[in-house]
Amino acid sequence: MKTIATMALMSLLVGAGPALGGNEVCDCDADGVVDTNDNCSIVHNPAQDDSDGDNCGNLCDADYNQNGLVSITDFGQFAICFGMTGCAGKQHVEPISDANIVNIADFGYFASAFGGTPGPSGTTAGTVACP
């Protein structure tokens, strides 16, 4: 017999959505927000920070110009903020705050996202902002 956790993991691997029975819903990243309402559904982000207001959380969103792709244009915007405060929108490691410095951990996320799309987000699934 499969456990709920096993079914949820299987659903992520095959892209079939939550594989739960009854009225249960999946919070597959265990952040306290169900995936359909989670602005970064595969990363544990209980604060749900979204500095640019596009419904794709900071921890999943390095697409600063909202064109659906993390590109060299986004890198230019990131580079301007690197080592500075007042750039919460370029932070990808909690806690997110304008008082915090954009640092190497944020760059690590940006580098891993480069060339890809932002997200996924349950709140904007299928949109350019966060597919």
Q: What is the mean pLDDT of each run of 10 residues along the chain (131 residues)?
A: 40 45 78 93 94 92 94 97 96 94 97 94 73 64
Q: Is residue 114 part of a domain?
A: yes
Residue 20 lies in a domain: no
In a domain, 2, yes or no: no
Structural domain contains residue 73? yes
Q: What is the pLDDT of residue 112?
A: 96
Please give the torsion angle defined by the CA atoms of residues 108, 47, 12 and 115, in that order, rounded to the nearest 10 degrees: -30
Q: Is residue 111 part of a domain?
A: yes
pLDDT of res. 124: 78
Residues in the chain: 131
Q: Is residue 14 part of a domain?
A: no
Tell me, what's the pLDDT at 22?
A: 53
User: Quick check: is 39 in a domain?
Assistant: no
Give the span between the Cα atoms of 43 and 28, in whole angstroms.
Answer: 9
State how many domains the chain has: 1
| Predicted local confidence at residue 25, as pLDDT | 82
CATH number at residue 62: 1.10.1330.10
Is the peptide bond between 118 and the residue preceding it cis, with omega within 30 degrees of 0? no
Establish if 66 belongs to a structural domain: yes
Residue 24's pLDDT is 64
pLDDT recorded at residue 7? 38
- The boundaries of the domain holding residue 106 are 47-131
